[in-house]
Amino acid sequence: MAAGFLSSEFVHNYKRNASAIAGSLILVVFALIVVAGPLMVWQNPYDIAQLDLMDAFKPPMWLEGGEARFPFGTDGQGRDVLAGVLYGTRVSVLIGLSAMAMSCVIGTTLGLLAGFYGGRLDAVIMRIADIQLSFPSMLIALFLMSAFGTGIDKVLISLTAVGWVVYARTVRGSTLSEVQKEYIQAARVAGLRDGKIIRRHILPNVMTPLIVVATVQVGTFILIEASLSFLGVGVPITEPSLGLLIKNGFDVLFSGLWWTSVFPGIVIMALVFGINLFGDFLRDELNPRLK
Amino acid sequence: MLGYTIKRLLQMIFVLWIVSVIVFLMMSFTGDPVFMVIPIDSTEAEIAQAREILGLNNSLIEQYAVFLKGILQGDFGRSYVYRQPALDLILERLPATFEIVLVAIVLAAVVAIPLGVYAGANPNRASSRAIMSASLLGISLPSFWVGMMLIFLLAVQWQMFPSSGRGDTVDLGWFRTSLLTADGWHHILLPALTLSLGTMAIILRMTRAGMMEVMRQDYIKFARAKGVSRRGMLYGHGLRNAMIPVVTIFGLQLGDLIAFATITETIFAWPGLGKLLIDSIYRADRPVIVVYLMLVAVLFVVINFLVDIIYTWIDPRITVK
């Protein structure tokens, strides 16, 4: 199995694709940050006992007045910008991944049901999807957050509420064409129950296109979450994501204290760029039309 | 065609009705509006009286009926903060947002379509690869951060552009425009550029994908064989056929631009709808939020309708059902 995968066309193309390799390297670095980020810095930026207001607004270490303790400077509370970014990356990535997983499960389930049973259920689900798709995700999420108030759980609910549609549509489309095929009819004749047919036979055959959708969606979610937090309706200040760090930096940008917003911005850009590079590669590989 | 139009109109009304129900329900379940209109230290009797006047003691259905009737008559209530009709507030801010979105989408199209055609027609050149990488970066950038960096470098450090506001406007009677003054253009460039980057990248990628698909078709080779110039082939035969998905994306992007204008306007203190919406969310100024949402819903429904009509016009093979 493993040997088969290593000599497959997928791996062969991956080795020859510089941007796919670059993208996955970026993602490996971020995976390390998510798993071990807090171990890489000496300060826990959210433990007030470790903060000292005397350290506020120190510039990065290579500038005059900077210290090696704070390689990328500090914010107004004397928080190490590097530590803040590492902790914030964790929040951003976990929100992106969890919201994607929730959207994927809910959307795929609804898409399978709609495609398999058709009829009124299908009409209702797809009608909701149509209406929702005519509004930008960002605006729906903004509206939901303004009603819910801040909180990581609320961000997850809002993102899932906008994210399920794309899975439902994709899965419904592929399910409709799978249901026509002989092996499904054979399974029916063999007396399998609907639930089993859907799970064991249809689901594995409609999964492939979802891989690309899911990958790219993590990046989109991270950006939407950052935008919501930037507007002050995302995560709470006790658990800042990269977007909230940028917002805090924006408040002092006009005083020339650029480092508090520049570094989180660069990190979020690198993160989403890595996801998109890898997503692009997956799209080319998994889309049979381009081969 | 007439039948189709009528069917679509009914659909549009249905969608708007659903939106009104959702907006109403969300607004009813979040917070108590009583304290937005009377002081927080009012007596029990005053609170009860205010509740009665606001109609908060009626059932949800009755409240919705009043709400819907108001909307249909163009009466959305008064802003709790500005004490003027919410609709007037929104209409007053509309031109500023309209202009920034217009400049952004034109900027995006003018830059992205030629680059997309080039990258699609010459997919293997190093320059095309560079264009594609840049566009991927464009999608990956948080636009608000780009706006902040532009402000920091061009407005704060080098003082080439103003960092906020709309500049001088000209009153055209029903519309205050800043596009007719040099100062207005000076103010609009940075926010419009910030807003357009994401759209630029997406239109570029769609145009390229469409062109790559089209360039493989026989009619392209045929056009070359019959002596059409390369430019004529790319734009006359290629782009025209590659445009269909791009038009859809244009419609969707217009929606996204309006949505993301909330952020851009907040950063650049641009006096448009988006900034008004964010300010109103902070202050729980419910009537203004409701007008904004309903107006935007109408806009999107109309944009989607127009996109469908434009399809049939670009590609006569598509007939509406």
A183 in contact with B at a CB cutoff of 8 Å? no
Contacts of B105 in chain A (CB under 8 A): none
Contacts of B252 in chain A (CB under 8 A): 136
pLDDT value at residue A288 = 57
Q: Mean pLDDT throughout B88-104?
A: 90
Residue B36's nearest CA partner among B47, B23, B24, B20 is B47
Residue A191 pLDDT > 90: no
A interface test, pick of B23, B133, B140, B306 with most A CB neighbours within 10 Å: B140
A18 in contact with B at a CB cutoff of 8 Å? no
Domain ranges of chain A: 20-35+72-286
Test B142 with A269 for CB contact under 8 angstroms.
yes
Phi, psi of A150 (to 5 degrees): -75, 160
The top-scoring range by mean pLDDT among A54-63, B70-79, B184-193 is B184-193
Instruction: Specify the DSSP class assigned to residue A50.
Output: G
Contact in structure between A162 and A98 (CB atoms under 8 Å): no
Per-residue pLDDT tens over the stretch B291-303: 888 888 888 888 8
Contacts of A134 in chain B (CB under 8 A): 15, 255, 300-301, 304
Q: How many CB atoms lie within 10 A of CB B192?
A: 25
pLDDT value at residue B224 = 77
Q: Mean pLDDT throughout B137-161?
A: 88
Q: Mean pLDDT throughout B188-206?
A: 91
Answer CATH for A20-35+72-286 from 3.40.50.450, 1.10.3720.10, 1.10.240.10, 1.10.630.10: 1.10.3720.10
Residue A35 pLDDT > 50: yes
Per-residue pLDDT tens over the stretch B63-89: 888 888 888 888 878 888 888 888 888
Q: Mean pLDDT throughout B221-228?
A: 79
Q: In the Cβ-directed half-sphere of B139, how many Cα atoms lie within 13 Å?
A: 26
Q: Higher pLDDT residue, B225 or A142?
A: A142
Q: Mean pLDDT throughout B211-222?
A: 81
pLDDT band at B131 (very low <50, low <70, confident <90, very high): very high
B249 in contact with A at a CB cutoff of 8 Å? no
Q: Mean pLDDT throughout B278-289?
A: 86
Residue A265 pLDDT > 90: yes
For chain A, the C-alpha Rg in angstroms (whole number) is: 23
Q: How far apart are CA A81 and CA A60, in angstroms?
A: 9
Residue A219 is nearest to which of B140, B152, B156, comparing CB atoms?
B140
Residue A277 is nearest to which of B29, B136, B293, comparing CB atoms?
B136
Of the candidate ranges A16-20, A113-117, B270-274, B277-281, the one whose mean pLDDT is the lowest:
A16-20
Test B255 with A232 for CB contact under 8 angstroms.
no
Residue A136 is nearest to which of B30, B148, B259, comparing CB atoms?
B259
Q: How far apart are CA B260 and CA A226, in angstroms?
A: 12
pTM comes to: 0.88
Q: How far apart are CA A221 and CA A99, in angstroms?
A: 8
Residue A227 is nearest to which of B18, B163, B263, comparing CB atoms?
B263
Per-residue pLDDT tens over the stretch B232-268: 777 777 777 777 777 777 777 888 898 889 999 999 9
Of the candidate ranges A200-214, B3-17, B122-136, B170-184, the one whose mean pLDDT is the lowest:
B170-184
Residue B3 pLDDT > 60: yes
Q: Left if phi > 0, otherwise alpha if psi is -120 to 50, otherwise beta: which for A192? A: beta
Residue B152's nearest CA partner among A235, A242, A265, A55 is A265
Contact in structure between B240 and B228 (CB atoms under 8 Å): no
pLDDT band at A291 (very low <50, low <70, confident <90, very high): very low
Test A253 with B156 for CB contact under 8 angstroms.
yes
Q: Mean pLDDT throughout B153-170?
A: 81
pLDDT value at residue B35 = 67
Residue B107 pLDDT > 90: yes
Test A136 with B267 for CB contact under 8 angstroms.
no
Contact in structure between B255 and B303 (CB atoms under 8 Å): yes
What value does the mean pLDDT of chain A take? 87
Phi, psi of A226 (to 5 degrees): -60, -40
Test B136 with A273 for CB contact under 8 angstroms.
yes
What percent of chain B is modeled with pLDDT above 90?
14
pLDDT value at residue A289 = 55
> How far off is chain A from B171, nearest CA to CA, in Å?
30
Per-residue pLDDT tens over the stretch B42-62: 777 777 777 777 777 777 888
pLDDT value at residue B92 = 87
Q: How many CB atoms lie within 10 A of CB A147?
A: 19
Q: Mean pLDDT throughout A144-164?
A: 91
A interface test, pick of B145, B266, B280 with most A CB neighbours within 10 Å: B145
pLDDT value at residue B36 = 66
Residue A274 pLDDT > 90: yes
Contacts of B135 in chain A (CB under 8 A): none
> Amino acid identity of A21?
I
pLDDT band at B33 (very low <50, low <70, confident <90, very high): low
What percent of chain B is modeled with pLDDT above 70?
94
pLDDT value at residue B28 = 76
Q: How far apart are CA B293 and CA A139, in angstroms?
A: 9
B156 in contact with A at a CB cutoff of 8 Å? yes
Test B142 with A233 for CB contact under 8 angstroms.
no
Residue A207 pLDDT > 90: no
Q: In the Cβ-directed half-sphere of A187, how many Cα atoms lie within 13 Å?
A: 18
> How far off is chain B from A290, nearest CA to CA, in Å?
9
Contacts of A230 in chain B (CB under 8 A): 142, 144, 263
Q: Mean pLDDT throughout B102-131?
A: 90
Q: How many CB atoms lie within 10 A of CB B21?
A: 13
pLDDT band at A163 (very low <50, low <70, confident <90, very high): very high
Q: Mean pLDDT throughout A247-276?
A: 90
For chain B, the C-alpha Rg in angstroms (whole number) is: 24
Residue A2 pLDDT > 90: no
A252 in contact with B at a CB cutoff of 8 Å? no
C-alpha angle with apex A173: A168 to A177, nearest 5 degrees? 140
Contact in structure between A93 and A37 (CB atoms under 8 Å): no
Residue A159 pLDDT > 90: yes
What value does the mean pLDDT of chain B take? 83
B148 in contact with A at a CB cutoff of 8 Å? yes
